[in-house]
Amino acid sequence: MSTFTDGRHEHGQNFLTDPRTIAQIIGIVSRTQGPLLEIGPGRGALTLPLQKLERPLTAVEIHPGLARTLEPELHRQHNVVTADFLSYPLPREPHVIVGNLPFHLTTAILRKLLHDQHWEQSILLTQWEVARRRAGVGGSSMMTAQWAPYYEFTLAGRVSARAFTPAPSVDGGIFTISRRSTPLVPWADRKPYAQFVHAVFTGPGRGMARVLRNTTGLSASEVGQWSGKAGVRSQALPKDLTADQWAALWSDRRGRTGKTERAGPAVGKKRRRRR
């Protein structure tokens, strides 16, 4: 939403200008520890208050003109880098991410962040619906469920479109991502676990009991024992499951198969029998 353009509104530039929203984000950041990396500082609405926290700060700005304007405003120990964040190499030591993200690049930026294993917390301002869904309000998205064993997602608040200049057509939302000190699913299982979640979210049937039967080929009694052990109701939908429930389902599934395979091949067999 802020700096992946040449500065013209028709290219998606909306600058954060609301003092209360800025203060709220800075307050959240102040409760974290470690060096700061800001995505798209733009005119410095967050950058200048962030440097008052007296922590190392690097701001990654794609627009050379904005970067040149901001650089003289930074203290000597802070710096602005002219680069596209999507291709910028993230630090390999623990750090904190802060960003007012461009709406049209939010998913790409989130994927980059979630695949990196070095930052500790991210405080992000995105489109309201994205913030709401990533935090699991009203049910988790598939992407959130795939990453929930590794991160905790928390909604921090809604931001009116009037907090930006020019105002976008939708409200924004602040949400945080915190890395779990101990993952609920081993990192080595991340890809097959994500495939398992995908198979369940896209599998046929209504309710977890039916979906799990269709995506695994297990009997009703086997699925009942499996889901019951994980505390999953038979009529629950995939979006309703907690991170602990997903992890428990995966752990038991992996124990049953003895390897990290996706739980999807049985779907094709089921459909062939229907013909």
Q: What is the mean pLDDT of the chain?
A: 89
Cis omega (within 30 of 0) on the bond before 186?
no
Q: At what angle do helices 220-229 and 243-257 cross, to 10 degrees?
A: 130
**pLDDT tens sequence across 69-92:** 999 999 988 999 999 999 999 999
Q: According to the model, what pLDDT value does residue 161 have?
A: 96
Whether pTM > 0.75 for this model: the answer is yes
Q: 3-state DSSP call for residue 47?
A: helix
User: Nearest-CA neighbor of 123 among 217, 11, 27?
Assistant: 27
CATH architecture of 9-179: 3-Layer(aba) Sandwich (3.40)
The CATH classification number of 187-274 equals: 1.10.8
Q: Which helix (H) or strand (E) holds 249?
A: helix 243-257
Domains of the chain by residue range: 9-179, 187-274
Region 18-32: mean pLDDT is: 98
What is the arithmetic mean of pLDDT over 88-111? 95
Contact 100, 16 (CB under 8 A): yes
pLDDT digits (tens, 9 = 90+) for 144-198: 999 999 999 999 999 999 999 999 999 999 999 999 999 999 999 999 999 999 9
Q: Are 2 and 13 in contact (CB under 8 A)?
A: yes
